Structure 1
Amino acid sequence: MAQPDQQPRKQRGGRNLQAAIGVGVGLGAVIVASLFVVKVLFLFVVAAAVLVGVWELTSRLAERKEISTPLVPLLVGSLAMLGTGYWAGPQWAAAALALTGLAVMIWRMSEPPENYLRDITAGIFTAFYVPFLATFVVMMLAADDGPQRILLFLIVTICSDTGAYAVGYKFGKNKLAPTISPGKTREGLAGGIGLSMIAGALLMQYVIDDGTWWQGLILGGCAAVTATLGDLAESMIKRDLGIKDMGTLLPGHGGIMDRLDSLLPTAPVVWLLLAAFVGS
């Protein structure tokens, strides 16, 4: 007797679990290889993710809201922010952000004045939200122990998501923000904070030079909070746009922006705390 076709396993939300795991492992391999072989290669990984993320966000704004966001100055400005952040520091990255905003305003002048303020506001928001926040990742990378700092940043953020999912799935009863993300619970948030703090303590003690466990507890707790807020902010944007995912580039995950949602707002917090605890 013929066997029924086996469908790919799905996780909650209808995503293909096998594809999601495969893509996640592949991305992890690229990140580790670029970090610990020649660390400047990771700068190009970040740049590629940022450029795709900017394209995804501006494309969805155009499709769903008819917002005409100047793409060329945003892409050029993104590379400028990342490059100056890595090689010159935060002051130059901030200057690149300001110049990008100015370029967006000027570029949009080539079109009719209707909705000018709306379009440039969306453009400046995009410049801040994607490339400027990502600049703090490459500034962590620029330190002598940059790969270790990036590893810490990624692991505490992933632990926040993982702990929140696991604890929320098993014990979650009280909704955290039901109108924004119905699946998130307060119990899950506590689980994410706890796991992120444990990971932060271990990594600060044994991986970061001159770091101590109590610093890792603070860093991990703050990272979990900002990761959750970033996820909620991205959910707000997608709900406003009326979409489930920002893109389809990553099977089982959605788009690049669907993976950056918790990382982007966490980057400046981790960079600042590492600078305060062990220097920049």
Structure 2
Amino acid sequence: MTDASGTEPVGDSPGDPDAPLTRRDAADTRRTTPIAPELHAQIRAARNEFESQVAHARAEFDQANERIKERTGRNLILATLIGLAIGLLLLASLVFLKWVFVIFAVAASVLGIFEFSRALQGAGRRVDVIPQLIAGTLLVIGGWFLELWLLWVAVFAAVAFVVVWRLVAQMFVKDGRTYGGVLRDVLTAGFIQLYVPFLTALCIVLLRQDGGEWWVLSFIIIAVASDTGAYATGLAFGKHPMAPKISPKKTWEGFGGAAVAALIAGVLLALFMLGLPWWTGLICGAVILLTATAGDLGESMVKRDLGIKDMSSWLPGHGGVLDRLDSILPSTIGALALYYLLSPLAAS
């Protein structure tokens, strides 16, 4: 209903409290009307309950993480996040550009040589870090360019280089070091080259083969699955030590979990990644299981001899670079041998 001017009635006067409300005034009134106190109370109660549940869940999670950390000496959450980040970088480098993985491998080798050398120096060994890094870097790069037989020549040259450097350096020092100490230093120098850069170079040799990126990815996955299976099973059921004098926390139950995980991963990778018969996956899983376990126990023995828990603390939750590569590096030998033996089956 409008008046003669065509406007809606607004009452007797704008300030008249008894005047009828216009549609705009009614809308403004609804918007400015406060929410009922009861609804406010319900919202606050619901929010407090939610915050309480989150705090309780976080407390339980932290307690569980502390129990795991107390038993294993690792921050599980931080270790998992770092492991995932490294895994994504590794996967991206293998899938998209092989040469990017070579850079990744050189960097890992350099860090591994450096932290191993520093750990040995801390235990009283005489290690020449600079020549170790030079020889090791050239050796890893040689894995991309040299044939396998030439790589053996290269590793011999690298070992000879660091050994001669150590002997000459010892001659100039003349500090009265015993013959046994000098011999130990020389053997240590050669071992560093054989353990870190040479095994890394074998991985590069495998990488450059036809379809080698999938073989590298497969054996790394099997090694990681083996480690994860051993960790989870040992944490949940481990009671019988496997090698108490070398690594007291490793158990036969953990080894059983590692075996199951490695064999399952091997079969799945053989079928869906390598194009091999399923039974070859059992062979791959078994071989990598043994080499990964041997590598893990071998580094544990070295660290026990040096009196250290981790090679370094560069990777929170993991220790050092070599603490993550201990099962992978020795597995390069088995993986390369498996490639030469089983890859012809993929073409048939």
TM-score with structure 2 setting the length: 0.75
* Alpha-carbon offset, residue 85 of structure 1: 1.7
Q: Deviations over 1:225-261 (max 9, x none)?
A: 1111111111111111111110011011011011011
> Using the alignment, how far apart are the partners of 1:74 and 1:272 within structure 2?
27
Cα distance in structure 1, aligned partners of 2:75 and 2:332: 28
Unaligned runs of 5+ in 2: 1-54
Q: Judge which range, 79-88 or 43-52, deviates more.
A: 79-88
AA partner of residue 215 (structure 1): T
Q: 1:272 aligns with which of 307, 327, 337?
A: 337
Flag the structure with larger Rg.
2
Matched, 1:54 2:113: yes
Count of matched residue pairs: 275
| 1:135 is the counterpart of 2:198 | no
CA contact (8 A) 1:77 1:96 kept: no
Matched, 1:263 2:336: no
1:165 & 1:18 partners in 2: Cα distance? 14
Counterpart of 1:271 in 2: which secondary structure? helix
**Pairwise CA RMSD:** 2.0
Residue 44 (structure 1) aligned with residue 109 (structure 2): no
The 1-side partners of 2:209 and 2:134 are apart by 25
Which residue of the partner structure matches residue 244 of structure 2? 178
CA contact (8 A) 1:85 1:92 kept: no
Contact residue 181 and residue 235 of structure 1 kept, 8 A: yes
SS in 2 for 1:263: coil
- 1:57 positional shift: 0.7
**Residue pair 2:318, 2:324 contacting (<8 A) in 1 also:** yes
The one-character-per-residue Cα deviations of 1:79-128 (angstroms, maximum 9, x if unpaired) are 22222222222212211111111111221213336333221110001111
Aligned residue for 2:191?
125
Deviates more, 1:125-134 or 1:77-86: 77-86
In the aligned structure 2, how far is the partner of 1:71 from the partner of 1:126?
A: 10
Check conservation: 1:247, 1:256, Cα contact below 8 A. yes
Identical positions, percent: 38
Per mean C-alpha deviation after superposition, the further-off stretch among 48-57 and 193-202 is 193-202
Residues 241-252 of structure 1: pairs in structure 2 closer than 5 A: 241-252=306-317
Q: TM-score, normalised by structure 1?
A: 0.92
| 1:264 partner SS | coil
Write the distance in 1 (CA, Å) between the matches of 2:242 and 2:74.
22
8 A contact 2:231–2:254 mirrored in 1? yes
Structure with higher RCO (Cα < 8 A, 6+ apart):
1
